[in-house]
Amino acid sequence: MTKLAIIIPCYNEEEVLPETALRIYQLLVQLINRHMISADSYALFVDDGSKDRTWSMIEDLHHKNAAFRGLKLSRNFGHQNALLAGLSHADDAHVMISIDADLQDDLSAIEKMLAAYERGYEIVYGVREDRSTDSWFKRATALGFYKLLSMMGTESVYNHADYRLLSQKAFAAFRDFKEVNLYLRGMIPMLGFKQTAVYYKRDIRKAGTSKYPLAKMLSFAWDGLTSLSSRPLRFVTVTGGVVFLLSIGMSIYALISYLSDATIHGWASTVLPMYFLGGIQLFCIGLIGEYVGKIYREVKQRPRFIIEEHLKGDPFEAIEHRASKVSTLAG
């Protein structure tokens, strides 16, 4: 029978964690009682350097029942690294499903994911049916970002975040990806294998505040774009070529104006081209610098995460015993 691990990255989630834990309990009860997963399936909470009571609450959950496991990172490494840490420490499961702790993703979609896995799919994406819960600005920027990724030659799944099922086979292949600059939403489709998607409606956040304000979202999008595609560097070359052609045209125009004695002396004709070329140069240098910075981080080969503490289940606990415990989790 399929052993499931639900991976839940957490950063300052003390307000929503009790409700999340309860609903995960209830889900495990349903899936185990319906014989869709084995009784030793579990949920793994990954504390990404939280500054509140998130880790102590995870410890309390684990001590109450071994179906809850915990992974504490030594500091805040970021959502993608925390997610990778959780996936890397769930190697005893047949399938792993990652989901955020804010309860916005519909837990009932997990049953659909497991059904797709049983049909032979190694990767199953959780995809939002619509973005009605988002503001107009967020919908517009999200659409623009996905289109930009497509233009840059990056394969991505529209309206998919990090709610997905990965088989152990698929994740074993992903282990060969050694990048420090992680953007899992664009990297997972590169694995190939048999893939599909299930659709669900996204709910509003149950408690707490979003950990992705606008500035952080823009930074995450930029990291994703520059981590997966080198086409922006080609844009620098194209821009340089266009500016060079424009400069030749301007030179010819200036020469003709000089020979025809039709030159106009003015501040704008001198300063504006200088500002334009200077701006283009600074933009291109900055873009190249982004890639140089990423190369710098890659060649240093620093660890993508550091584990401070790992709360595991008891390997000697009988499956039948765990089944009886899990069946009373929601009570």
Q: In the block, which residue shows the tokens 């970021």?
A: 78
Q: pLDDT at position 44, please?
A: 95
Q: pLDDT at position 183, please?
A: 76
Q: 131 and 19, same structural domain?
A: yes
The number of distinct structural domains making up the chain is 2
> pLDDT: is 316 or 181 the higher one?
181
Q: 59 and 12, same structural domain?
A: yes
pLDDT over 70 for what percent of the chain?
A: 61
Q: In the block, which residue shows the tokens 């993508």?
A: 304
| Dihedral (CA of 112, 114, 120, 122) sign | positive
Q: What is the mean pLDDT of residues 167-196?
A: 85
Q: 246 and 121, same structural domain?
A: no
Q: What is the mean pLDDT of residues 128-145?
A: 66
pLDDT greater than 70 at residue 62:
yes
Q: Which pTM does this prediction carry?
A: 0.69
**Domain assignment of residue 179, yes or no:** yes
pLDDT greater than 90 at residue 187:
no
Q: 251 and 106, same structural domain?
A: no
* CA dihedral of residues 168, 170, 171, 175 (deg, nearest 10): 130
Q: pLDDT at position 159, please?
A: 75
**Domain assignment of residue 217, yes or no:** no
| Dihedral (CA of 323, 117, 24, 173) sign | positive
**Domain assignment of residue 220, yes or no:** no
What distance in Å separates the CA atoms of residue 159 and residue 139, rounded to the nearest whole number? 10
Q: 250 and 173, same structural domain?
A: no
Q: 181 and 143, same structural domain?
A: yes
Question: What CATH number is attached to the domain comprising 38?
Answer: 3.90.550.10
> pLDDT: is 88 or 186 the higher one?
88
Q: What is the mean pLDDT of residues 278-294?
A: 72
pLDDT over 90 for what percent of the chain?
A: 31
CB 63 within 8 A of CB 21: no
Q: Which two tokens stand for residue 286?
A: 């900055």
Q: What is the mean pLDDT of residues 76-92?
A: 90
Q: 241 and 106, same structural domain?
A: no
Of 96, 295, 112, nearest in space to 197 by CA? 112
Q: pLDDT at position 217, please?
A: 60
CB 73 within 8 A of CB 82: yes
Q: pLDDT at position 55, please?
A: 94
**Domain assignment of residue 226, yes or no:** no
Poorest-confidence range of 134-143, 144-153, 265-274? 265-274
Q: pLDDT at position 190, please?
A: 81
Q: 281 and 189, same structural domain?
A: no
Of 66, 91, 72, nearest in space to 315 by CA? 66
Q: What is the mean pLDDT of residues 216-235?
A: 62
Q: pLDDT at position 331, please?
A: 44
Amino acid in the structure at residue 197: A
**Domain assignment of residue 181, yes or no:** yes
**Domain assignment of residue 216, yes or no:** no
Q: pLDDT at position 87, please?
A: 92
Q: What is the mean pLDDT of the chain?
A: 77
Q: What is the mean pLDDT of residues 49-53?
A: 91
Cβ partners under 8 Å of residue 84, min gap 6: 182, 184, 304, 305
Count how many residues are written for the chain: 331
What distance in Å separates the CA atoms of residue 165 and residue 120, rounded to the nearest whole number? 12
Q: pLDDT at position 201, please?
A: 83
Q: pLDDT at position 192, please?
A: 85
Q: 236 and 125, same structural domain?
A: no
What distance in Å separates the CA atoms of residue 183 and residue 155, rounded to the nearest whole number? 12
Q: What is the layout of strands, in order, in the sheet containing 160-167?
A: 195-200, 123-128, 160-167, 95-98, 4-10, 42-47, 68-73, 307-311
CA distances (Å), origin 66, targets 95, 180, 317, 318:
18, 32, 9, 12
Q: What is the mean pLDDT of residues 109-131?
A: 89
Q: 150 and 280, same structural domain?
A: no
**Domain assignment of residue 265, yes or no:** yes
3-state secondary structure of 299: helix
| Strands 95-98, 160-167: pairing kind | antiparallel
User: What is the domain range of residue 258?
Assistant: 231-300
pLDDT greater than 50 at residue 197:
yes
Q: 252 and 144, same structural domain?
A: no
Q: pLDDT at position 316, please?
A: 44
Q: What is the mean pLDDT of residues 269-295?
A: 69
Q: pLDDT at position 104, please?
A: 84
| φ/ψ of residue 42, rounded to 5 | -155, 170
Beta strand extents in 89-234 (DSSP E only):
95-98, 123-128, 160-167, 195-200
pLDDT greater than 80 at residue 233:
no
Q: 278 and 321, same structural domain?
A: no
**Domain assignment of residue 108, yes or no:** yes
- pLDDT class of 304 with cuts at 50, 70, 90: confident
Q: What is the mean pLDDT of residues 32-45?
A: 92
- pLDDT class of 320 with cuts at 50, 70, 90: very low
pLDDT greater than 50 at residue 315:
no
* b/e burial code for range 162-193 (CB count within 10 A of at least 16 → b): bbbbbbbebbeebeeeeebbbbbbbbbbebee
Tens of pLDDT, residues 250-262: 666 666 665 666 5
